[in-house]
Structure 1
Amino acid sequence: MAIDFDSIITDPLLRADFAAAAALFEAFPPESNLLPYEVFWRDHQVWLQEKGYMLRPRYHPDWVPSALSHPETRTINLEDACTPNKAHLLDARRLLTGEVVMLKKILKSEHPYEVLIHKHLTTGALASHQHPTDIRGSQVHPSMQYSSSVRLFVVVPRKVYDFFLTSDCGFWNIMMDATDLYPDGFHPMCQLLDATWTRKPVLAKYYTRTRTPVKYYFIDFGISCVFDPDDTSPIEIPVRAGDKSAPDFEDDSLVPINPFPTDVYYIGNVIRKDIKRAYRGIDFMDSLVNDMVQVDPMKRPTMNEVVERFEQIRRSLPWWKLRSRLRSPHEDSAVPTCK
């Protein structure tokens, strides 16, 4: 089914996002070629192809905007007019397998440990370590055309461990792998649309998460640390993450502290601020969340205790509660059940 963006975007926040995108297209029409932060990717397209990763046509050196040959089509409906919203991230297709991956540009001067942590998690004994929680991260390639301070990071499945500290496990660093939800795939820059989108947007076919469970991942390890697994109370100088509300940093002190309770706070605050405020019907999490965001870090449960208590809560809920959908605060009290 071919559609126009205006006919499928009903959420006011999404409409605002697409209005902003349309304004960007007007400011930088396709005839003016790439946005400044996209030049890096165009300049690396041939090199990435040699490494086994294909970028979309927009980033090929010989790219000609399709808006020039199809002036009757709205620019925002053209796939090759779609720009990434993060300058350091871009999608690509792995030539060997055909799978879609994300590329991340890393500046070692800003995040000197991210590549080291990646290597720590993906080499030696840790590469085969079995653990029920997943993250994503593989293959690091030094850029050949820029200085040695630039690295390209390709994301594919790996594992995470009890002694691994993310330091920035906020809302925006928790991602969902939607591969199984979309049997025919989806466009990496607009998940509403089919992977074959070129000139006419087509809605992607999808399943519900009840039918096809998904996995969630922590990403972005620019300020992460790895500790000895026997050291349950390491002491480190505090590092402020995206969530600035942690009471651990209220006095701006550089006195070393145990950073693990701060991770517990961050995850608890995601549930409290980003989930509970947006949806009704999850009051069963209140007791656990309140403990996770205690002002005194020493009164917070450990992450293992959080997992254990969450499992106890989950097992205590009836099946109809687990299968009921989340409701916004503006809906009535009826709770439809997913069959």
Structure 2
Amino acid sequence: MWIEKPTPEFWKRRIPGGWCPSEETWVSLQPFLLEQGYSLRARFQPDWTPSWNGLDDFFLFSDVEDGVRHERFSILDATRTLDGTPVILKAVHKQIDPSEAIGEYFASEPQRSDPRNHCAPLLGVLHPPTRPEWAILVYHRYVPWHIWPFRRVSEIVDLWTQAFEGLAFMHQHNTAHLDCSFSNIVMDGLHLLKEPNHPANPGYTYAPRRRSVRHIERFESERPVKYIFIDFDQSVRFGPDNPNHLWRRRKGQDNTAPELRSPDPYDAFALDVYCLGHMILTHWLNAYKNLEFVRPLVQDMMHQDPARRPTALDVEARFRVIAAQLSAKDLRKSPRRVHGYDFTEYILGNVPARVPPQASTDDSLLSKLFRRRRVASTPNRPTPSGGSSFATADDLSTRMASEPRQS
């Protein structure tokens, strides 16, 4: 317990929960940002006094709204004062970061209005006079797709469909993302929240104390969930002088592709395909048992020879055929989690990739009995007498609605 009440300045810099250096930079920019029409949370006001100031249990600062530290130097949430729109501010170095140029290209017409465009739309660019080497990019605020579990296979299929579509769209516009990883795909999902969440800890609300934020499931939403590619700091847009898309990037979040071990330039588009396939392997095929329908495609996407990988456009087309073969019953099933799987341990190389179970060759009497019971309990399904049995991926929701729901 403190003998005397600490001053606000002491709290802000010295006490657990006070400002970290990256936060102080944003605090210094607060007057400029407000002038430009963007307000920051209470924590980032120059005259902020911590709400736990003077309390004996000040170590519980992380349970209150203004106690959540934001230690990512380049990114901060804000609110557009004109209409209350929640936004994200991203500071980039003008000389070395291509995010501004890439963002302006995909935010211009006709790219902006194209439904296949899944690049985060750039809302504006700010130029702080005290930091002339910076540009502050303004985007909509999104939420991570993994802040709560997927409840139906259809939700995962929807994310994959949009990710493949978005990557194919970028490649059609001669742009390689070069850092396709799980944290660089986000969800336009603020409408799924039943209450405001905390921008720095999006799975929680802090009104009045920290708890999990209440939300509806993705499949319950009347408004479709859109998945968005973000973070174009490594991206490159190729001109006609580089038709083979040869490039070398800086170190990214996924560095497992075999071509990264060579000092020579490589096909940037093939690297994007590999990284997206590896993301699906890491976060879904290793983690769930009933998503094996996509494994052959992922194996092709991760081929050791980049020249033998399918293009992003081929990946999109193949997956639409795969998705169209899934029945409404399959889509309504819950993903079956692999017990004990931790993707961080896999990334660190501490656990191997999950191998799909092989068909049983056990011919014992007990095995035959169980197989006979399973066959007997499976209802006969009518076989289509003619025509194609495939539907388009866009008909998934229609087919799900047309079949009776299971309680």
Pick the TM interval, shorter chain: 0.7 to 0.9
CA drift of 1:311 comes to 0.8
CA drift of 1:242 comes to 2.1
Query: In 1, Cα distance between the equivalents of 2:87 and 2:233?
Result: 19
Query: In 2, Cα distance between the equivalents of 1:137 and 1:299?
Result: 33
Does structure 2 conserve the Cα–Cα contact (< 8 Å) formed by 1:101 and 1:154? Answer: yes
Does structure 2 conserve the Cα–Cα contact (< 8 Å) formed by 1:173 and 1:219? Answer: yes
Query: In 2, Cα distance between the equivalents of 1:273 and 1:171?
Result: 9
CA drift of 1:183 comes to 3.6
Query: In 2, Cα distance between the equivalents of 1:300 and 1:94?
Result: 43
1:134 aligns with 2:143: no
Mapping for residues 148-187 of structure 1, pairs under 5 Å: 148-156=132-140, 161=170, 162-163=172-173, 164-187=175-198
1:316 aligns with 2:325: yes
Secondary structure of 2:137 counterpart: strand
Secondary structure of 1:42 counterpart: helix
- The residue number in structure 2 matching 1:9 is none
- The residue number in structure 2 matching 1:39 is 24
Query: In 1, Cα distance between the equivalents of 2:177 and 2:103?
Result: 12
Q: 1:257 to 1:77 in 2, by over 3 A?
A: closer
Match of 1:59 among 27, 44, 56: 44
CA drift of 1:109 comes to 4.2
- Deviations, residues 285-327 of structure 1 (Å, cap 9, x unaligned): 1110000000111111111111111111111011122122223
Which amino acid in 1 is paired with 2:189?
Answer: A
Match of 1:237 among 247, 267, 290: 247
Query: In 2, Cα distance between the equivalents of 1:232 and 1:275?
Result: 35
Match of 2:229 among 218, 222, 241: 218
User: Aligned pairs, how many?
Assistant: 299
Q: 1:133 to 1:322 in 2, by over 3 A?
A: farther
Query: In 2, Cα distance between the equivalents of 1:47 and 1:322?
Result: 49
- The residue number in structure 2 matching 1:80 is 66
Mapping for residues 95-114 of structure 1, pairs under 5 Å: 95-111=81-97, 113-114=98-99
Query: In 2, Cα distance between the equivalents of 1:295 and 1:233?
Result: 22
Unaligned runs of 5+ in 1: 1-24, 332-336
Normalized against structure 1, the TM-score is what? Answer: 0.80
Secondary structure of 1:63 counterpart: coil
Unaligned runs of 5+ in 2: 1-11, 142-165, 341-404
Which amino acid in 1 is paired with 2:318?
Answer: R
Identity %: 29
Computing the radius of gyration from Cα coordinates, the structure with the larger value is: 2
Secondary structure of 1:140 counterpart: strand
CA drift of 1:284 comes to 0.5
CA drift of 1:133 comes to 3.3
Query: In 1, Cα distance between the equivalents of 2:315 and 2:57?
Result: 56
Does structure 2 conserve the Cα–Cα contact (< 8 Å) formed by 1:210 and 1:323? Answer: no
Query: In 1, Cα distance between the equivalents of 2:296 and 2:242?
Result: 24
CA drift of 1:199 comes to 4.1
Normalized against structure 2, the TM-score is what? Answer: 0.67
Does structure 2 conserve the Cα–Cα contact (< 8 Å) formed by 1:210 and 1:338? Answer: no
- The residue number in structure 1 matching 2:16 is 29
Query: In 1, Cα distance between the equivalents of 2:242 and 2:218?
Result: 35
- Deviations, residues 211-263 of structure 1 (Å, cap 9, x unaligned): 124211111111111235x899433232143211111222222xx43321111
Query: In 1, Cα distance between the equivalents of 2:259 and 2:307?
Result: 11
Which amino acid in 2 is paired with 1:155?
Answer: Y
Does structure 2 conserve the Cα–Cα contact (< 8 Å) formed by 1:236 and 1:258? Answer: yes
Does structure 1 conserve the Cα–Cα contact (< 8 Å) formed by 2:77 and 2:199? Answer: yes
- The residue number in structure 2 matching 1:274 is 283
1:258 aligns with 2:270: no
- Deviations, residues 92-116 of structure 1 (Å, cap 9, x unaligned): 11111212111111123442x2212
Query: In 2, Cα distance between the equivalents of 1:77 and 1:88?
Result: 24
- Deviations, residues 172-227 of structure 1 (Å, cap 9, x unaligned): 21111221211433221222333xx3542354321011112421111111111123
Query: In 2, Cα distance between the equivalents of 1:38 and 1:187?
Result: 16
Q: 1:97 to 1:144 in 2, by over 3 A?
A: same
Mapping for residues 276-295 of structure 1, pairs under 5 Å: 276-295=285-304
- The residue number in structure 2 matching 1:10 is none
- The residue number in structure 2 matching 1:22 is none
- The residue number in structure 2 matching 1:15 is none
Query: In 1, Cα distance between the equivalents of 2:41 and 2:100?
Result: 26
Which amino acid in 2 is paired with 1:96?
Answer: L
CA drift of 1:72 comes to 5.0
Query: In 1, Cα distance between the equivalents of 2:55 and 2:85?
Result: 29
